[in-house]
């Protein structure tokens, strides 16, 4: 414990990233547990090759498991969904930790953690705002999709790209805006409303500049996930050998850490101006609007 | 908000780099193209000359399409020869379009029996015969003497008896002058219109199939049933607007432009149906595949759909010829309807098939386009050439075509014959098997189409369970033998309108009595089977005096009435593996032994040959179940990703 504290004092930001990634990973295991328990009850462990069979090419036993276990798996999925919602709310803590660690000047090593705990309720509210607005965008996209895809002739690709692109852009803009609000809400004396107002101001002033950085960081995240998917495919977990599972586990944990690190880079981008490294929100911006 | 100087350049660089990273990510997980085509075994190019088949009902028709009213004005002659052994007092005509005439028709009056789509037409359609005059009877119009409704169904007008003033003796012929109006409905069950798209299937008065005993195989048009007719020569002239592309059964023999309209003449022989389509939105592609002139009509802009369809045909045509004999026609027309006319998709007619799917289908990683293309292509044999009664025994055409589709997909894509999405490979066998098990033992496969409790039930049993049963026979008794049986059935029964007994006879001949009996049980007796390891015990032998000895015992059960041979594999703690064969007769199989190692696992049918098995999860038992680390790790990772997302 003492050693951990020492490491944490020396590398508080790295520790914050690792801790946030660990929290996210642990949440994943919590969400997965009911489904795994249901699969175990279905006798998947007694299959000749155990759960390797579920990853085997052709998916014969995967489809069979879904068919035979439809009812227990559906019940387990509902429990997992509830766990997912609770864990999604709990993600406010690691998110707050990353924001507090990377947006605040590195002074007292314990400050980000204390601040993160205090920020969690606000971040839950902002996370809900993010999810709600993105869900709305998604629903609108779903509603527009049939019209876009029913177009004949050469217009179809353009219309579909327009719908997908519009939905992605809107979602990205919403996420950027909410992150700006998260950043603004770090200041203890601001209300949530003031934070949102400041985010709106920041979005208008720096939106385009931040958008480029957002595309860059999200692209890096997407590449990490895609590369891991390809790597996992190459690892062939349907084949015998526990080492394969270990390698895939390590790969996936590395992705979660990388994604958290990318989030930290993004927070740094939010909290700095282009080159000056000044803390944002700029002093006085609240009074400007 | 403006890019200025260094900051602007940096922003632009970040944007471009970010977009590149996204592109790389998408490229990494995008569905990969299938492996190169396997080359079907060499076989001499078959002759494409029409075969000599006794013609029973031949049609020479002119059809003029009124594209604004979606109406076809038809006229011409029907030449009919009584090739049965009995004199005929009446003729029977199928007026299939009257299935959409009103809500009282057999087709439409049950909201639960509206066939594949489950929907009725927005606009009704009908066929009105104006004249049916027999030349041999001095031009006497027979139509006024018809029974105006289907036999024993006063509300339905799809199965019409036309009494003859004098019986038509065996060997005698009639030439009927016919005139009719066909009003196409809004698209339903593969016929009708959607905007300017027109698909004319079952659009003319069609003689019912005359059986050898002099009975007509006539039936009212039921939503779950398809068609049955005699072979004949179809000589059809289509009069359509000049700007419309046309696809039709048979070979185009002439084309004449007359101002704003075009006349195209098609001849098909020997076939038992004729369908056509006309639309001003088609892009037309022609390719010669395995000696057949293939015309593909797909909506403009569906480039990838067209490429994949032609690629599938380039593989599928020789592959299916290898299995079921030469495709004897010179032409094949493939129609991919637009999305607003999707109900026209997935249908077979002689020398013309329709596929379907949205334009983005090729980018989804699924094989849906290939599957529908191969399925409808297989219908050229099982429906087109073998010409079974689709209403009476739908499993003979849909089931065998589904098996042809299953095998062709398997040869083409291996374990990813259903989908390959981000490394998740699913086979068509997995889907077919699961679907087949959903209705196991509930209804016979060999029921007439209208006797199935629902179209869903028909689909799961006729399409999926028949194909699964045949695949099970291939795995249990030998694939080469099954291929030989189906090949013999397809070649011997070509143009012969066989019943199920001909198929069973070929199975019996090539695969043996146990295989034929198993198929009969599944097809005709609602047969089912489930193998399970019921008991697995390993205990120290207390009576042993020397080194530790274990008494091992396995009990395997078979429930259901289908007997199939299986293997039982037993694994011992010291790594030894022992295999036994069981012919599948009797309800149980028991194994007992004494040895130095305890038994840890027993598996019945470890190679999953019996795809008909009701439940594959109870085929194994273990005294040391494995942990589920693989699936747990994967689910946890996916959950963690969804919790945090990819974006920062």
Q: What is the pLDDT of residues B12-71, one digit of tens each?
A: 888 899 999 999 998 888 776 666 556 555 455 555 555 678 999 999 999 999 999 999
Q: Collect all residues of chain B within an 8 Å Cβ-Cβ radius of residue A237.
A: 630, 634
Q: What is the mean pLDDT of residues B122-138?
A: 96
Whether the pLDDT of residue A276 is over 70: the answer is no
Q: What is the mean pLDDT of residues B537-554?
A: 89
Q: Work out the end-to-end distance of chain A between its first and last CA atoms, rounded to an integer number of angstroms.
A: 48
pLDDT digits (tens, 9 = 90+) for A38-95: 999 999 988 888 899 999 889 999 999 999 999 999 999 999 999 999 999 899 999 9
Structure tokens at A40: 């175990």
Interstrand relation of B251-258 and B88-94 (parallel, antiparallel or unpaired): unpaired
Q: How far is CA A252 from each of CA A37, A262, B580, rounded to the nearest angstrom?
A: 22, 15, 42
Higher pLDDT: B638 or B119? It is: B638
Question: CA torsion angle for B337, B341, B342, B345 (degrees, to 10)?
Answer: -50
Are residues A216 and B17, on separate chains, in Cβ contact within 8 Å? yes
- CA of A95, closest CA in chain B: separation in Å? 9
Task: Please name the member of B6, B338, B646 whose beta carbon is closest to the beta carbon of A222.
Answer: B646
Q: Which of residues 292-351 of B touch A (CB under 8 A)?
A: 299-301, 338-340
Q: With an 8 Å Cβ cutoff, is B24 touching chain A? A: yes
pLDDT digits (tens, 9 = 90+) for A233-271: 888 888 888 889 999 999 999 999 999 999 999 998 888
- Residues 6 or more apart from B268 whose CB is under 8 A from it? B233, B234, B236, B249, B250, B251, B274, B329, B350, B351
**Which H or E run includes B640?**
helix B629-644
- CA of B165, closest CA in chain A: separation in Å? 53
Q: With an 8 Å Cβ cutoff, is A256 touching chain B? A: yes
Structure tokens at A11: 């590398």
- CA of B10, closest CA in chain A: separation in Å? 9
Q: How far is CA B320 from each of CA A47, B304, B343, B409, B442, rounded to the nearest angstrom?
A: 36, 23, 26, 11, 32
- CA of B191, closest CA in chain A: separation in Å? 20
Q: Collect all residues of chain B within an 8 Å Cβ-Cβ radius of residue A66.
A: 434
Q: Which of residues 79-138 of A touch B (CB under 8 A)?
A: 80, 84, 87-88, 91
Q: With an 8 Å Cβ cutoff, is A29 touching chain B? A: yes
Task: Please name the member of B301, B628, B643 whose beta carbon is closest to the beta carbon of A40.
Answer: B628
Among A89, A156, A233, A253, the residue to mutate for chain B (most B Cβ within 10 A): A156
Return the CATH number of the domain spanning residue range B529-629: 2.60.40.10
pLDDT digits (tens, 9 = 90+) for B200-217: 999 999 999 999 999 999
Structure tokens at B181: 């109006």
Interstrand relation of B276-279 and B197-200 (parallel, antiparallel or unpaired): antiparallel
Task: Please name the member of A68, A229, A275 whose beta carbon is closest to the beta carbon of B29.
Answer: A229
pLDDT at B41: 57
- Residues 6 or more apart from B30 whose CB is under 8 A from it? none
Among A138, A167, A204, A226, the residue to mutate for chain B (most B Cβ within 10 A): A226
How many distinct structural domains can be found in chain A? 1
Q: What is the mean pLDDT of chain B?
A: 92
Identify the CATH class of B55-278. Answer: mainly beta
Mind giving me the DSSP string for B449-512?
GGGSS-HHHHIIIIIIIHHHHHHHHHHHH-HHHHHHHHHHHHHHTTTS---HHHHHHHHHHHH-
pLDDT at A1: 60
Q: By C-alpha distance, which of B563, B561, B556 is closest to B579?
A: B556
pLDDT at B624: 84
Indicate the pLDDT class of residue A208, thresholds 50, 70 and 90: confident
pLDDT digits (tens, 9 = 90+) for B281-304: 999 999 999 999 999 999 998 999
Cα distance between residue A265 and residue A271, in whole Å: 10
Are residues B628 and A39, on separate chains, in Cβ contact within 8 Å? yes
Q: Collect all residues of chain A within an 8 Å Cβ-Cβ radius of residue B416.
A: 57
Q: With an 8 Å Cβ cutoff, is A70 touching chain B? A: no
pLDDT digits (tens, 9 = 90+) for B233-273: 999 999 999 999 999 999 999 999 999 999 999 999 999 99
Q: Which of residues 550-609 of B touch A (CB under 8 A)?
A: 569, 601, 603, 606, 608
Placement of tokens 């080492």 in the chain = A243
CB B399 within 8 A of CB B342: no
Domain spans of chain B? 55-278, 406-524, 529-629
Whether the pLDDT of residue A286 is over 70: the answer is no
- CA of B40, closest CA in chain A: separation in Å? 23
Are residues A172 and B647, on separate chains, in Cβ contact within 8 Å? yes
Task: Please name the member of A51, A91, A233 whose beta carbon is closest to the beta carbon of B626.
Answer: A51
Are residues A215 and B15, on separate chains, in Cβ contact within 8 Å? yes
3-state secondary structure of B621: strand
Extract the runs of DSSP E, i.e. beta strands, from B202-258.
Answer: 206-207, 209-210, 216-217, 232-241, 245-248, 251-258
Range of the domain at A70: 2-288
Q: What is the mean pLDDT of residues A5-9?
A: 72
Burial class (CB in 10 A: 0-12, 13-18, 19+), B2: exposed
Q: With an 8 Å Cβ cutoff, is A248 touching chain B? A: yes
pLDDT digits (tens, 9 = 90+) for B348-400: 999 999 999 988 898 888 999 999 999 999 999 999 999 999 999 999 999 99
Q: With an 8 Å Cβ cutoff, is B34 touching chain A? A: no
Are residues B360 and A68, on separate chains, in Cβ contact within 8 Å? no
């Amino acid at each position: 414990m003492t050693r951990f504290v020492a490491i944490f004092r020396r590398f508080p930001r790295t520790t914050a990233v690792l801790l946030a990634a660990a929290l996210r990973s642990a949440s994943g295991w919590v969400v997965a547990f009911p489904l795994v328990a249901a699969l175990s009850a279905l006798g998947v462990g007694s299959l000749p090759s155990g759960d390797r069979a579920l990853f085997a090419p052709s998916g014969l036993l995967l489809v069979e498991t879904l068919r035979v276990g439809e009812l227990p798996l559906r019940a387990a999925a509902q429990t997992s969904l509830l766990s997912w919602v609770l864990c999604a709310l709990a993600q406010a803590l690691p998110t707050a930790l990353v924001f507090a660690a990377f947006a605040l000047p590195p002074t007292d090593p314990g400050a980000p953690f204390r601040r993160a705990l205090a920020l969690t309720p606000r971040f839950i509210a902002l996370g809900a705002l993010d999810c709600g607005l993105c869900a709305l965008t998604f629903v609108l996209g779903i509603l527009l999709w049939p019209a876009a895809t029913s177009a004949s002739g050469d217009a179809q690709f353009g219309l579909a790209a327009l719908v997908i692109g519009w939905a992605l852009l809107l979602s990205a803009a919403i996420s950027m805006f909410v992150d700006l609000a998260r950043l603004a809400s770090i200041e203890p004396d601001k209300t949530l409303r003031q934070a949102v107002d400041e985010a709106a101001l920041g979005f208008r002033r720096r939106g385009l500049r931040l958008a480029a950085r957002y595309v860059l960081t999200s692209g890096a995240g997407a590449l990490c996930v895609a590369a891991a998917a390809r790597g996992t495919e190459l690892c062939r977990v349907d084949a015998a050998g526990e080492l394969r599972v270990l390698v895939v586990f390590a790969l996936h944990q590395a992705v979660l850490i990388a994604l958290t690190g990318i989030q930290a880079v993004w927070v740094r981008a939010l909290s700095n101006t282009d080159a000056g490294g000044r803390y944002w929100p700029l002093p006085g911006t609240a009074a400007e609007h | 908000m403006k890019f200025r100087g260094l900051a602007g350049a940096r922003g632009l660089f970040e944007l471009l780099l970010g977009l590149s990273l996204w592109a790389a990510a998408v490229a990494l997980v995008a569905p990969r193209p299938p492996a190169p085509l396997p080359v079907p075994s060499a076989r001499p190019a078959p002759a494409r000359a029409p075969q000599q088949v006794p013609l029973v009902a031949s049609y020479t028709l002119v059809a003029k399409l009124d594209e604004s009213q979606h109406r076809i004005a038809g006229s011409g002659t029907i030449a009919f020869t009584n090739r049965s052994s009995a004199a005929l007092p009446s003729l029977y005509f199928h007026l299939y379009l009257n299935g959409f005439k009103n809500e009282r028709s057999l087709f439409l009056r049950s909201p639960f029996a509206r066939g594949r789509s489950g929907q009725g037409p927005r606009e009704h359609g009908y066929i009105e015969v104006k004249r049916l005059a027999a030349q041999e009877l001095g031009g006497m119009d027979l139509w006024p003497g018809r029974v105006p409704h289907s036999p024993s169904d006063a509300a339905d007008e799809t199965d019409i008896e036309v009494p003859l003033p004098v019986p038509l003796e065996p060997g005698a012929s009639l030439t009927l002058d016919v005139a009719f109006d066909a009003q196409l409905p809004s698209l339903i069950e593969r016929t009708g219109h959607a905007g300017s798209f027109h698909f004319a299937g079952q659009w003319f008065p069609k003689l019912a199939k005359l059986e050898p005993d002099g009975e007509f195989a006539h039936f009212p048009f039921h939503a779950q049933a398809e068609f049955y007719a005699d072979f004949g020569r179809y000589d059809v002239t289509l009069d359509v607007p000049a700007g419309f592309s046309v696809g039709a059964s048979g070979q185009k023999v002439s084309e004449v432009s007359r101002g704003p309209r075009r006349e195209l003449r098609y001849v098909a022989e020997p076939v038992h149906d004729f369908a056509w389509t006309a639309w001003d939105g088609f892009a037309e592609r022609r390719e010669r595949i395995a000696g057949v002139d293939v015309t593909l009509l797909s909506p403009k802009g569906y480039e990838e759909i067209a490429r994949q369809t032609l690629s599938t045909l380039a593989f599928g045509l020789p592959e299916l010829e290898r299995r079921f004999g030469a495709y004897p026609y010179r032409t094949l027309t493939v129609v991919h309807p637009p999305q607003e006319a999707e109900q026209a998709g997935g249908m077979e007619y002689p020398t013309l098939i329709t596929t379907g799917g949205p334009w983005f289908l090729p980018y989804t990683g699924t094989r849906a386009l290939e599957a529908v293309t191969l399925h409808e292509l297989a219908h050229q044999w099982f429906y087109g050439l073998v010409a079974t009664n689709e209403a009476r025994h739908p499993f003979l055409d849909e089931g065998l075509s589904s098996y042809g589709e299953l095998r062709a997909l398997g040869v083409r894509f291996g374990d990813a014959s259903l989908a390959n999405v981000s490394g998740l490979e699913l086979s068509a066998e997995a889907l077919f098997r699961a679907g087949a098990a959903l209705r196991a033992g509930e209804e016979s496969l060999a029921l007439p189409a209208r006797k199935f409790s629902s179209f869903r039930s028909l689909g799961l049993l006729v399409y999926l369970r028949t194909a699964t049963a045949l695949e099970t026979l291939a795995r249990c008794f030998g694939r080469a033998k099954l291929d030989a049986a189906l090949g013999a059935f397809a070649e011997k029964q070509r143009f012969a309108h066989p019943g199920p007994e001909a198929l069973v006879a070929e199975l019996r001949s090539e695969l043996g009595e146990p295989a034929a009996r198993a198929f009969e049980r599944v097809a005709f007796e609602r047969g089912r089977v489930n193998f399970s390891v019921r008991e697995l015990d390993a205990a120290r032998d207390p009576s042993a005096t020397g080194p530790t000895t274990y008494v091992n015992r396995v009990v395997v059960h078979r429930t259901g009435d289908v007997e199939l041979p299986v293997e039982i594999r037993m694994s011992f703690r010291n790594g030894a593996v022992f295999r036994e064969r069981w012919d599948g007769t009797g309800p149980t199989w028991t194994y007992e032994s004494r040895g130095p190692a305890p038994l840890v696992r027993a598996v019945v049918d470890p190679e999953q040959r019996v795809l008909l098995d009701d439940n594959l999860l109870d085929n194994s038992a273990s005294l040391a179940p494995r942990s589920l680390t693989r699936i747990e790790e994967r689910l946890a990772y996916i959950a963690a990703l969804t919790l945090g997302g990819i974006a920062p």
